[in-house]
């Protein structure tokens, strides 16, 4: 299989750089999925054996623009011209089970351990189709048979779906968006059941993240498949109302931020 992203000249530079330092580097996630489905590729995310601090040192030594706002979780960003690459060290995530008001929850913030094993890294990801790794030669590493699920048009959670959505409820919105994006009608029964039964958790996620993902879903060609499912399970009106509230709150926040920025500029001009 030919992966279009392997033609990216900046990605080629990164592959050569990491190889020079004796480390492994793979493309993983959405870029692989979208390349297989012949969809447009917006971002190229990478996974590596190199520790985040070593990545920072390497980019510094080679005078390459970079930053590390997510370095705690192993993520370093590399910039070339108008392109950005997020590179994350292989890691294992462990979530603490906590009890609040006699109810059990899984902590949203994992304890991170950096590892060198691709298979361990794959277990922390959301869906089988997002845990497909490709090296510079186009060789595929597919621990959960995600390529087969792509072929069959099915989105499945990795591991226990309930644990997955408890750790990150945002995965539920991503699940529905990917299904809509690719016009999937053959919805996995387990993934659908867990996503529907736990949708109330979605209403607690950051409103900006929610409305961004909701708008992406609404722009998908297969959105009516998902809208019909939401209506079938009595969720559609509640979701649309929540989306309207989030959109308005985000609009007000953005308007206030513009006002603050304009006021700041005026003060600078007066000085």
Name the percent of the chain lying above pLDDT 90: 81
Higher-pLDDT residue of 116, 105 = 116
The superfamily in CATH containing domain 1-152 is: Beta Polymerase, domain 2 (3.30.460.10)
**pLDDT the model gives residue 241:** 97
Name the percent of the chain lying above pLDDT 70: 95
pLDDT tier for residue 173 given thresholds of 50, 70 and 90 = very high
**pLDDT the model gives residue 54:** 97
Q: Judge whether residue 104 has pLDDT over 70.
A: no
Q: Report the candidate in 88, 168, 155 with the shortest Cα–Cα distance to residue 122.
A: 88
Report whether 223 contacts 217 (CB < 8 A): yes
The mean pLDDT of 104-129, rounded to a whole number, is 88
User: What tokens were used for 103?
Assistant: 């109810």
CA 44 to centroid of chain Cα atoms: 11
pLDDT tier for residue 107 given thresholds of 50, 70 and 90 = low
**pLDDT the model gives residue 246:** 97
Mean pLDDT of the chain: 93
Please report, for the chain, the start and end positions of each structural domain, with discontinuous segments joined by +.
Answer: 1-152, 165-271
């Amino acid at each position: 299989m030919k992966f279009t992203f392997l033609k990216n000249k900046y990605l080629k530079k990164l592959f050569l750089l990491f190889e020079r330092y004796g480390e492994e580097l793979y493309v993983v996630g959405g870029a692989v999925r979208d390349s297989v489905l012949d969809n447009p590729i917006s971002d190229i995310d990478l996974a590596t054996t190199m520790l985040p601090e070593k990545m920072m040192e390497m980019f510094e030594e080679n005078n390459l623009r970079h930053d590390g706002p997510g370095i705690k979780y192993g993520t370093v960003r590399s910039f070339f011209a108008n392109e950005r690459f997020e590179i994350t060290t292989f890691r294992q995530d462990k979530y603490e089970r906590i009890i609040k008001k006699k109810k059990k929850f899984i902590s949203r913030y994992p304890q991170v351990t950096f590892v060198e094993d691709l298979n361990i890294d794959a277990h922390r990801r959301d869906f089988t189709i997002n845990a497909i790794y490709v090296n510079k030669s186009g060789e595929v590493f597919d621990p959960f048979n995600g390529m087969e699920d792509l072929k069959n048009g099915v989105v499945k959670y990795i591991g226990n779906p309930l644990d997955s959505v408890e750790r990150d409820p945002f995965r539920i919105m991503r699940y529905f968006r990917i299904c809509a994006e690719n016009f999937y009608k053959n919805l996995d029964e387990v993934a659908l059941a867990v996503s529907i039964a736990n949708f109330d958790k979605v209403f607690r996620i950051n409103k900006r993240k929610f409305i961004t993902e909701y708008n992406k879903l609404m722009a998908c060609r297969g959105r009516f498949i998902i809208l019909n499912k939401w209506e079938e399970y009595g969720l559609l009106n509640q979701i649309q109302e929540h989306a309207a509230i989030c959109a308005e709150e985000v609009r007000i926040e953005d308007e206030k931020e513009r006002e603050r920025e304009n006021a700041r500029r005026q003060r600078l001009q007066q000085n």
